[in-house]
Structure 1
Amino acid sequence: MSNMPCAPQCLQRTLAAAMVVAAAASATCDGARAEYPERQITMIVCFPAGGGTDIAARLINTSLGEALGKPVIVENRGGAGGNIAIAAAARAGGDGYTLLVCSSAYVVNPSLYAHAGYDPYKDFVPVMVIGASPNVFVVPAQSEIKTMPELIARAKAHPGRLNWTSPGAGTTPYLAGEVLKLRTRISMQHIPFAGAGPATTAALAGQVDLYTANIGSLMGAIDAGKLRPIAVTSRERWPDLPDVPSLDELGVKEAISDTFQGVFAPAGTPQAVVDRLAKELTLILNRPDIREKFVKAGLPVVAEGPEVFRARIAREVPRYKAIVDQAGLKIQ
């Protein structure tokens, strides 16, 4: 028998076997990707339960879980104007099993906080803007203040005596309040809370003179007569509050703002996963029953996909930076 090295035919057989193994491995990987998700998905919400961001997450998590075939749970991590949740989601990594649900605080915090702890352009992939609506200024039902002009007049007569609150520093309602102070030259003391839930509780108890928050989180209390709306931050009157004037209508110019609620994925999340999430969320948000629930919650569905959402972020980060810089609101 010959001890000569393997003939060319032997080499060809070896290469063919290697190709079969590689193909099998590729098929296995493709199969693994196709099976996403293989386990539970967590939505980290950047504010406590009861606020607009929490409501938005809970209106979609069950339907998203049904569409994906695995549970999607909501985990609230309030604090630091949303930065605690944002940092937690970023640390979770881009495997598709942790998502962030956050409000416009996402585009505000990098300018407002000296150390927000994330890059709004690089650390997350925008998946979907769920909805957006303006902010509203309200007073407790038992308040003697009936209108925004009355509040402004009282604040001017007693500088620094009135207090006000918001869902927290970094939120667009907080900036709406600061813009109101800036444009009308009034002085009020801001009382910080960790989210819309505890802030709303304080307003209902009459512990603050003025409260500003996203309309979606307050419509229930407004409809029940527990809070009195005195102005909205939309360009025109909001359909659900036809008797409430806009700040622009009252002569407070350059004070238009809204709050969006969006879904983000940590950087590094596979594009196929982002595409799947965007597809399922689009289908869910276009369902009549889901849209009706959002309308009742005061958050009309927007359903802006990844590219449109990315453009919104690019537009709003510098916009709110200009407001923060003008008002001198930097938080160390």
Structure 2
Amino acid sequence: MSDYNGPLPSRRQFLKTAGVVAGAAAAPIFKPKQALAAGYPERPVRIVVPFAPAGPTDIMARILGDSLGEALGGNVIVDNRPGASGNIGIGYVAHAEADGYTLLVVSSAYVVNPSLFAKVPYDPFKDFEPITELGTTPNMIVVSPKLGINSIAELFARAKAKPDELNYASPGAGTTPHLSAELLKIVGHVQITHVPFSGAAPAIQALLAGTTQMAVTALPAALPFVQSGELKALALTGAHRWVDLPNVPTMVELGYKDFVAETAQFFLAPARTPAAIVATLAAKSIEVLKKPAVIAKLRDNGYEVATSGPEGLRKYVKSEVPRWHDIIAKAGIKPV
């Protein structure tokens, strides 16, 4: 685990380094003639999701799998192996046979968990071959309209004036919404009490019921309540504004230039998977993710497509693991 102490790189800086524009499909760095693995696949390809069915990562895997199977000319099945904040499923694929038939679709837990746990069953830099990033969704900072807070500046002012008053709901300890809220506290120099729940839905319900004063969740969970006026969105943690919320600023726009904390989804294969198979999977995945119907379906589920290819994802992981390590350390969260 790196003891990284430098400044937090912004996602925009990273994407420039990787040669990718956020939200747009990037050209693969491999040649088309290299993306042909003779005879692959000869049997069903299994995508392991290290979380329960119907969650954001499962939705991403199933949308990808439906079209990827057709693109590969074979069957793609999704295998849910939840537990230990994703570590069980990630570890399972890390030690699976590297033949291209057991793959992983995983969230940002992949780059966060090495700093949240004293020991994880995988090395994020050595145990996987990156295929491509699939998509990202921003987190959203929301409050009840009854609170009378209409901006991040007003939130910080209230928290400083009454440091023991405010609390916030999150989908659970160690999730990117939780860590986004802790980063919010760091940049604002404020204290807001964390109230963890077992998922985004109960966190939002707690806010609606008045149990908490605010919540930080991934965009899909809060979006309908913001659109209905039941909740007030103060800011998004993405690199840019969300298409369906043109009036909600990002933390970057508010002057916090390094405050990009999205939930990303990655596609990976076990280390030592043949290069030709990885190239085929990357090319076909990017092809699928460029389809307007897939883009629309993912956007309906709160995702923006992000196709970085193998080297782009490799650089992203290399950047994000130490970045989250730094945030977690600054937040005073101890590994368990």
Q: CA deviation at 1:141?
A: 6.7
1:128 aligns with 2:132: yes
**1:210 — aligned with what?**
214
* Equivalent position of 2:301 in the other structure: 297
- CA 1:81/1:199 → structure 2, altered by over 3 Å: closer, same or farther? farther
The separation in 1 between residues aligned to 2:172 and 2:161, in whole angstroms, is 26
Query: Is the 2:132–2:266 Cα contact (8 Å) retained in structure 1?
Result: yes
In structure 1, the partner of 2:120 is 116
Q: Which residue of 1 is the match for residue 170 of structure 2?
A: 166
Distance in structure 1 (CA, Å) of the matches to 2:189 and 2:292: 44
* Cα shift readout 1:109-147 (whole Å, capped 9, x = no counterpart): 212322233211011111111112432112357766544
Of 280, 284, 288 in structure 1, the residue corresponding to residue 284 of structure 2 is: 280
SS in 2 for 1:34: coil
Aligned to 1:60, what secondary structure does the other structure show? helix
- TM-score w.r.t. length of structure 2: 0.77
Give the C-alpha shift of residue 161 in structure 1. 4.5
Residue aligning to 1:87: 91
Q: Which residue of 1 aligns with 2:57?
A: 53
Describe the shift of the 1:46–1:219 C-alpha distance in structure 2 as closer, same or farther (beyond 3 A).
Answer: farther
Alignment-mate amino acid for residue 233 of structure 2: P
* Structure 1 Cα separation of the partners of residues 80 and 201 of structure 2: 12
The residue identity in structure 1 corresponding to 2:287 is L
Structure-1-length-normalised TM-score: 0.78
d(CA) in 1 for partners of 2:68 and 2:257?
40
Asked if structure 2 preserves the Cα contact closer than 8 Å seen for 1:140 and 1:210, the reply is yes
Q: In the TM superposition, what are the counterparts of 1:1-332 in structure 2 within 5 Å? A: 34-139=38-143, 145-196=149-200, 199-200=203-204, 202-203=206-207, 206-234=210-238, 236-252=240-256, 254-332=258-336
AA aligned to 2:56 is G
> Matched residues in 2 for 1:217 and 1:102: separation?
19
Distance across 1 between alignment mates of 2:89 and 2:215: 24
**Rg larger in structure:** 1
Q: CA deviation at 1:289?
A: 1.2
SS of the residue aligned with 2:235?
strand
Counting aligned pairs with the same residue, the percent is 47
Find the residue that maps to 1:87 and give its secondary structure: helix
Q: Which has the higher contact order (CA 8 A, sep 6+)?
A: 2
- Name the structure with the higher helix share: 1
Which amino acid letter does the alignment assign opposite residue 299 of structure 1? Y
Aligned alpha-carbon RMSD (Å):
2.9
Question: Quick check: 240-249 or 33-42, which moved more?
Answer: 33-42
Q: CA deviation at 1:36?
A: 2.9
Residue pair 2:43, 2:74 contacting (<8 A) in 1 also:
yes
Counterpart contact for 1:184–1:252, Cα < 8 Å: no
Measure the CA separation in 2 of the matches of 1:87 and 1:152.
40
Output the amino acid matched with 1:290.
V
Q: 1:99 to 1:207 in 2, by over 3 A?
A: farther
Helix, strand or coil at the partner of 1:120: coil
1:188-216 CA distance string (max 9 Å, x none): 33233455455455555554432223324
Tell me what 2:34 maps to.
Answer: none
Q: Is the 8 A contact 2:152 2:235 kept in 1?
A: yes
In structure 2, the gaps of 5 or more residues are 1-36
Task: Return the offset for 1:107.
Answer: 1.4
Distance 2:68 2:160 in 1: 49
How much has 1:265 moved relative to structure 2?
1.2
Structure 2: which amino acid aligns with 1:121?
F
Which shifted more, 80-89 or 128-137?
A: 80-89
Q: 1:40 to 1:110 in 2, by over 3 A?
A: same
Give the 3-state SS of the residue equivalent to 2:46 in structure 1. strand
Q: How far off its partner does 1:48 sit?
A: 3.4
What count of residue pairs does the alignment treat as equivalent? 300
Structure 1, 295-304 or 76-85: larger mean CA deviation: 76-85
Quickly say closer, same or farther: Cα 1:243–1:67, change in 2 above 3 A: same
Report the secondary structure of 1:117's partner residue: coil
Q: CA deviation at 1:310?
A: 0.6
Q: Is the 8 A contact 1:51 1:197 kept in 2?
A: no
Which SS does the other structure have where 1:92 is aligned? coil
- Is the CA contact 1:95–1:269 (under 8 Å) kept in the aligned structure 2? yes
**Contact conserved, 1:140 with 1:205, CA < 8 A, in 2?**
no
Offset of residue 281 of structure 1: 0.6
